[in-house]
Structure 1
Amino acid sequence: MKGYCFLIIVFLTSLFIVIGCVEPFSPPEVNSDEGYLVIDGFLNVGLDTSRIELSHTQNTNTQTSVLKEPGAKLTVEGEKGETYAFTEKGNGSYYLPPYSFNTAQKYRLRVKTRVGGEYLSDFVEVKNTPAIDAIEGKLDTRQDAMVMQVNTHDATNSTRFYRWGFEETWEYRAAFYSSLELVGGQIVSRKNDINLCWRTLKSSNILLGSTIKLSQDIIKDLPLTTVPIATNKLYIKYSILVKQYGLTQDAFEYWTSLAKTTEGTGSLFDPLPSQITGNIRSTTNPKELVFGYFSAAVEQKKRIFLTPNLGRYPTCSAPDTLEIKDALKSANMLMNYYGERSEYILETIDYCADCREQGGVTKRPAFWE
């Protein structure tokens, strides 16, 4: 729309496919084995728990999982001296329950590791976040997909910089129903339904938006993710939970730089090819690198459900028919009895009859409609 443009930085591999030749870039910072500390999280001054994760950088060529940092002491400090201590929950994750924070104050994060390192962020202002106005799924026939979009606005024109994350959950079925299983060498009726599952995935890309060049603080129809119909996520029921955060300009610039960097590596969680450190410093060794950006904001959430019935029921090759004596020795998934006198049993591979093989769980989410 003429005269209506705003800076949107959205890196979604499902929206854009870039084909080309890229010359590998291997700076010494990420080809060393120093294992610099990475601090990921923010202070949620709203009604939800704050979560911060501590981990370490790794060589870009390493194939091992990310090394976490347990046993640390994390506190948030206010300008007037008050402190709030995080509780460790394991695997490098630390949590702080909701408090009535003074949003007019500034806060900083202090981290003390078990080996004696200490890290301190700058004091940051609390950024309010306006509510999410709407989340919509719009069918794009050209892409044969549903594009999930977010809308928000700040009537006071004071937010201007935004970041989003999301969690998508969908209900699905395995192609075949298994009513039998082998227990103790006997064929018995299956106790638990493994045909119906739910799977949840979190966003891994950096989603940013700014209205700094607009007269009004309005974000309209910003695309968050594209859900191809061929994935069958939209066949039974689909839900997306969107999380929205207001940012300071400094935080926005940090995330923008990080987004430009991770565009070349694939996602936020891949090893970084350049040095983007943020607003946290080591107090015990000023020359030591530490990665991350501490901010304070109100987290806004909104969830929607869609039942567009787009896609098709899953299919698999026809099941095999076994005599009962052979079914007793089968390593595959037993389905049900077959034949006029139920003298046979149908079997298939696990993937075709056990929905958990596709990454989901059989427990219905508490939030599910």
Structure 2
Amino acid sequence: MKLRLLLLLLLAVISGCVDEVQLPARSVASRLVVEGLVTNEKPPYTVKLTLTGEYNSLIYGQNEIPVNGATVSITEIGGRTVTLSQDALTPAYYWMYDSTFVGQSGKSYQLKIILPGGETYISEPELLNPVSEIDRIYAEYRPRADAEVYIPDHYQILLDTKDPASAGNYYRWSGYGYVPRLSTGEPIGFGFCCKWCWVPVYGSRSEVLSDVLVNGNSISRRPIMLSPVYYVGRHYIEVRQYSLTKSAYQFWVKFEEQRKRTGSLFDPLPASIEGNVHREDDANVLALGYFGSSGVSTRRLTIPGDTLNAARMEIKYGDVFVEDGNCQLIYNQGQLNPPANW
């Protein structure tokens, strides 16, 4: 009993010595965010304009606010200027549809934004560099670990390409695809419909590489994305290889570093990175995001999936990846038919 009383007294003394520390809430004002790209592919090109919502670290929230009513144009340095049109349904997006305005290697492009209040932003001229062709893309099957019950098997999508002999080449890769999924279906008449559909999957947009260590050599088995195996059926994959300027490469490196942060009290606020867009009358006032120009090489792949056995997969997975209802409605952007002309 005496020992217990002594312990209680000690705890009371310790707790009385702790002062409460009031940490100030970190907050930042709303800022312009720009995402846009001109390529050597035919238009349309898009520019996305948003404002960051008021960020408060105690609330831990940050929302995108579309920029409505801006005047947006793209200029080919020494050439034409084209004006973009705002999307009526998704007002954050501005579109350039002029089929005669196509990005060309060796040309530089500049974005200009006049906000509704008259404030004007411009980007630094961005050189469109040529890009190597993708030699091939291919898939390798990777089963999940036994303990990973809620993670499906997947295909690892890999890429081979050849870096030119000239130094100073920078790459970015992105990938997306459609994979089959299964649901319980929707009752109709005496049966069920819509039990199978294809859903989109996406890889990272910030897979980048400098040729400092590989100049003039082959880039082999570069991992691009994972294509999850939820059910048997074909996978449809598209991989895009972009050329980058050095400044664009540095932007995407910072973007990826921030994306991988685990987050702590002392980390920077989780917002986009400052890029190459600034206020026209004050180059020190920077927007977030980046306006770039890139050469693009594209490859598509169809994975047959014919070596997978439906009965075995159902035993392995159970109903972990099967949702109730109409497949195209319960899975985001689900479609009953595979993509056409793949």
Same fold (TM over 0.5): yes
2:332 corresponds to: 359
**d(CA) in 2 for partners of 1:160, 1:285:** 31
Unaligned 5+ segments in structure 1 are 1-25, 181-187, 318-349
Q: Cα–Cα, structure 1 residues 265 and 361, in superposed 2: closer, same or farther, change >3 Å?
A: same
Match of 1:47 among 17, 42, 57: 42
What is the CA-CA distance between 1:227 and the residue it aligns to? 4.0
Whether 2:34 is the aligned partner of 1:36: answer no
What is the CA-CA distance between 1:206 and the residue it aligns to? 1.6
- Please, what is the CA RMSD of the aligned residues? 3.2
Whether 2:67 is the aligned partner of 1:69: answer yes
Whether the 8 Å contact between 2:168 and 2:212 is mirrored in structure 1 is no
**d(CA) in 2 for partners of 1:194, 1:142:** 28
Q: Report 1:168-247 matches (<5 A).
A: 168-174=177-183, 176-180=184-188, 188=189, 193-204=193-204, 206-227=206-227, 229=229, 232=230, 235-247=232-244
What is the CA-CA distance between 1:76 and the residue it aligns to? 1.2
**d(CA) in 2 for partners of 1:362, 1:106:** 39
Whether 2:59 is the aligned partner of 1:79: answer no
Letter in 2 for 1:121: S
1:185 corresponds to: none
**Partner deviation per Cα, 1:166-223 (whole Å, 9 max, x = no partner):** 112112222x45452xxxxxxx467x93212111133345211222222414321111
Q: Cα–Cα, structure 1 residues 360 and 195, in superposed 2: closer, same or farther, change >3 Å?
A: farther
Query: Any idea what SS the aligned residue of 2:214 has?
Result: coil
Match of 1:138 among 128, 140, 146: 140
Deviates more, 1:252-261 or 1:282-291: 282-291
What is the CA-CA distance between 1:274 and the residue it aligns to? 7.0
2:274 corresponds to: 277
Letter in 1 for 2:71: K
Unaligned 5+ segments in structure 2 are 1-22, 146-152
**d(CA) in 2 for partners of 1:77, 1:275:** 25
Letter in 2 for 1:211: D
**Partner deviation per Cα, 1:64-109 (whole Å, 9 max, x = no partner):** 6421212212111122252121222233111223424443332211
Q: Cα–Cα, structure 1 residues 201 and 249, in superposed 2: closer, same or farther, change >3 Å?
A: same
Tell which has more relative contact order, 1 or 2 (C-alpha 8 A, sep 6+): 1
**What's the TM-score, normalizing by structure 2?**
0.74
Whether the 8 Å contact between 1:165 and 1:243 is mirrored in structure 2 is yes
Q: Percent identity?
A: 20
**d(CA) in 2 for partners of 1:275, 1:50:** 21
Q: Cα–Cα, structure 1 residues 159 and 133, in superposed 2: closer, same or farther, change >3 Å?
A: farther
Aligned length: 294
1:56 corresponds to: 51
Q: Cα–Cα, structure 1 residues 96 and 158, in superposed 2: closer, same or farther, change >3 Å?
A: farther
**d(CA) in 2 for partners of 1:352, 1:292:** 39
Whether the 8 Å contact between 1:42 and 1:50 is mirrored in structure 2 is yes
Match of 1:150 among 137, 159, 183: 159
Whether the 8 Å contact between 1:159 and 1:217 is mirrored in structure 2 is no
Deviates more, 1:242-251 or 1:277-286: 277-286
